[in-house]
């Protein structure tokens, strides 16, 4: 590499300086103005390997702190982040283009998770005695969860604090060191978190950040970490998984969604409409578990649609902190949103608010589509923009069938008067998470695991399952006294085998 070159995170166009060179820095851009916020290095394989080597040493120190020590450090970290939350939210807002209030909400949620992980790791992961059963009654059995070592975290841009911190907080609390590759659209947020950790523990690089484009993420998957926590799109998850397969590196994959909302005849319609508008259009629809499809029972369909239309028509997207939502953060997503609207209309759907013309250069005005066939891309694929499909259904059974009709399975919401029926519908929805009478209710409860099935990925962050995701169970037995039966012996007495056969019949054969 002889000459320095540059690429932009926002459109990932690499400006190469020659056949053998590639970009060494990239720019983080403000989606509202296109201004360069800052430049960051593109970490190559050697730089990523060095970070992982440093993390491996730091991981030994971190592990030695024990649950109590880590809890203290993490609560210090939490305090430092919380004291400077305004600065972090301001940076999130600049790098993503989302209004400041939305950015602040995200920071608040991330802090709640960090707090929970710090305070609950010991309870969930510490060594405990477990029953050894009648057949092994002479053994004392102990189960504990050990740290994996170094976890590589690869993050997206849409919630650049909340989402990666869902892995980072739980993996740290479980005793691992982290090398974090933030999205190329939000590198500043990643660096901010690293600097905040360094402000409290400058000599212990337990949380390091490597910046770069997809290649840097790929380098992290090849760097010999003990687990990859990936959040992003399904297609990228497949590439990450293929690389992880080469070295049997375990992977947790948090991918996209096509979440449905179901509205029952006895629902509080005003409330459902309010949540629907927020779930579908908040953050410009760039939410993995946002509302992308709504199935409304026919008796309340028109009322729901009229009220949703009214609220959405009042929305004012734009580039200020007072805007309802901001510009699209990732420019290439704009073409996907447009193609979904066009496909919905071409396949027989109707636009009751907006249409293909709502897609501007960077800002997309809200779009409500109705009567869209379930085969349309607008129903089957993640749109990730400020559009929503509202379809009429005969009854709740049809709503569940349609909600379960895509290859995704992240979250869903149900609006219903009868809460018991709401729980029953939640059971029948084929996904990882359901909120009854709210949207995204599960995302703010740290003790609930977060994740999906199918195209939405596998594994869990948050909660006890999230802590265990970043640990390995360790099973230990200690003999209390010699067994009266010598079954595990090359010279097994026949009498002991006969006695065991009688015991087996008595215990399990009746």
10 binds ligand NAD (CB under 6 A): no
CA angle 118, 119, 121 (to 5 degrees): 70
- Quick one: DSSP state of residue 450? B
Say which of 254, 365, 381, 455 is annotated catalytic.
254
Q: With contacts defined by CB under 6 A, how many residues of the chain interact with ligand NAD?
A: 31
Q: What distance in Å separates the CA atoms of residue 235 and residue 242, rounded to the nearest whole number?
A: 11
Contact letters for ligand NAD, residues 50-89 (x by CB under 6 A): ----------------------------------------
233 binds ligand NAD (CB under 6 A): yes
Nearer to ligand NAD, 41 or 214 (CB): 214
Residues 112-171, interacting with ligand NAD (CB under 6 A):
154-159, 163
Q: In whole angstroms, give the CA distance from residue 174 to residue 462.
A: 12
Would you report the helix, strand and coil content of the chain in percent, each value rounded to 5?
Answer: 45, 20, 35
Q: Residue 437 has which token pair?
A: 């009478």
- Return the structure tokens found at 372: 């869209």
Return the axis-axis angle of helices 187-200 and 162-173, rounded to nearest 10°. 30
254 binds ligand NAD (CB under 6 A): yes
Q: Is there a contact between 349 and 369 (Cβ–Cβ < 8 Å)?
A: yes
Distances from the Cα of 378 to the Cα of 279, 339, 445, 486, 506, angstroms: 16, 8, 30, 66, 60
Query: In the stretch 165-204, what mask flags binding to ligand NAD with x, by CB under 6 A?
Result: ----------------x-xx--------------------
144: annotated active-site residue: no
Does residue 463 touch ligand NAD according to CB under 6 A?
Answer: no
Contact status, residue 316 vs residue 324, Cβ threshold 8 Å: yes
Q: Which is nearer to ligand NAD, 307 or 462 (CB)?
A: 462
> Counting contacts by CB under 6 A, is residue 221 touching ligand NAD?
yes
Among 55, 330, 403, 440, binds ligand NAD (CB under 6 A): 330
Q: Given candidates 29, 81, 213, 429, which one binds ligand NAD under the rule CB under 6 A?
A: 213
* Position among 382, 389, 400, 446 found at the interface with ligand NAD (CB under 6 A): 382
Least distance to ligand NAD, CB of residue 161, Å: 11
Whole-number minimum distance, CB 384 to ligand NAD, in Å?
6
Q: How many Å apart are CA 451 and CA 442, to the nearest integer?
A: 10
Is the CB of residue 389 less than 8 Å from the CB of residue 378?
Answer: yes
> Of 174 and 189, which CB lies nearer to ligand NAD in the complex structure?
189
Contact (Cβ atoms closer than 8 angstroms) between residue 156 and residue 183: yes
Span from 17-25, 91-99, 234-242, 348-356 in contact with ligand NAD (CB under 6 A): 234-242
User: Could you give the C-alpha distances from 401 to 262, 288, 295, 304, 433, in angstroms and in order?
Assistant: 11, 21, 10, 20, 17
The reply on whether position 381 binds ligand NAD by CB under 6 A is no
Interface with ligand NAD includes 359 (CB under 6 A)?
no
Can you read off the two tokens belonging to residue 195?
A: 């600097």
From the CB of 123, what's the least distance to ligand NAD, in Å?
A: 24
List active site positions.
Answer: 254
Binding site for ligand NAD (CB under 6 A): 154-159, 163, 181, 183-184, 213-214, 217-218, 221, 231-233, 236, 239-240, 254-257, 288, 330, 382, 384, 410, 457
């Amino acid at each position: 590499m002889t000459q320095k070159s540059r690429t932009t995170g926002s459109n990932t166009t690499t400006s190469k300086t020659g056949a053998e060179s590639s970009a060494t820095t990239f720019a983080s851009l403000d989606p509202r103005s296109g201004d360069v916020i800052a430049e960051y290095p593109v970490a190559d394989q050697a730089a990523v390997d060095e970070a992982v080597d440093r993390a491996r040493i730091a991981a030994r120190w971190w592990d030695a702190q024990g649950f109590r020590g880590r809890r203290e450090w993490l609560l210090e970290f939490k305090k430092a982040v919380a004291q400077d939350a305004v600065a972090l939210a301001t940076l999130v807002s600049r790098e993503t283009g989302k209004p400041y209030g939305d950015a602040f909400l995200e920071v608040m949620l991330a802090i709640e998770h960090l707090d929970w992980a710090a305070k609950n790791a010991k309870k969930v992961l510490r060594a405990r005695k477990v029953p050894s059963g009648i057949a092994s009654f002479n053994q004392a059995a102990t189960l504990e969860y050990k740290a994996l070592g170094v976890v590589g975290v690869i993050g997206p841009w849409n919630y650049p604090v909340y989402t990666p911190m869902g892995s980072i907080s739980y993996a740290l609390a479980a005793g691992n060191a982290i090398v974090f590759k933030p999205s190329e659209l939000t590198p500043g947020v990643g660096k901010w978190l690293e600097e905040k950790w360094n402000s409290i523990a400058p000599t212990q690089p337990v949380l390091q950040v490597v910046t770069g484009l997809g290649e840097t993420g790929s380098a992290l998957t090849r760097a010999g970490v003990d687990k990859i926590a990936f959040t992003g799109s399904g297609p990228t998850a497949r590439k990450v998984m293929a690389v992880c397969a080469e070295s049997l590196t375990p992977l947790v994959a948090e991918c996209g969604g096509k979440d449905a909302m179901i509205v029952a005849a006895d629902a509080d319609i005003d409330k459902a409409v309010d949540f629907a508008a927020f779930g579908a259009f908040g953050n410009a629809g760039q939410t993995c578990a946002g509302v992308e499809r709504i199935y409304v029972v026919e008796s309340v369909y028109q009322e729901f649609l009229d009220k949703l239309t009214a609220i959405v028509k009042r929305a004012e997207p734009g580039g200020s902190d007072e805007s309802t939502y901001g510009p699209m953060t990732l420019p290439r997503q704009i073409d996907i949103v447009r193609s979904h609207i066009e496909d919905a209309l071409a396949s027989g759907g109707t636009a009751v608010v907006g249409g293909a013309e709502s897609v501007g250069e960077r800002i997309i005005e809200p779009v409500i589509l109705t009567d869209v066939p379930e085969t349309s891309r607008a129903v089957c694929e993640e749109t990730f923009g400020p559009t929503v499909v509202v379809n009429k259904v005969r009854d709740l059974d049809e709503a569940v069938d349609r909600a379960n009709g895509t290859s995704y399975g992240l979250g869903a919401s149900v609006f219903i008067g009868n809460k018991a029926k709401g729980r029953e519908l939640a059971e029948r929805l084929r996904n990882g998470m359901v909120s009854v009478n709210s949207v995204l209710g599960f995302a703010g409860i740290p003790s609930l695991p977060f994740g999906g099935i199918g195209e939405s990925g596998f594994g869990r962050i948050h909660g006890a399952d999230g802590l265990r995701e970043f640990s390995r169970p360790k099973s230990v037995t200690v003999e209390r006294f010699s067994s009266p039966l010598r079954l595990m012996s090359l010279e097994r007495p026949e009498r002991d085998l006969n006695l065991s056969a009688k015991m087996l019949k008595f215990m399990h054969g009746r």
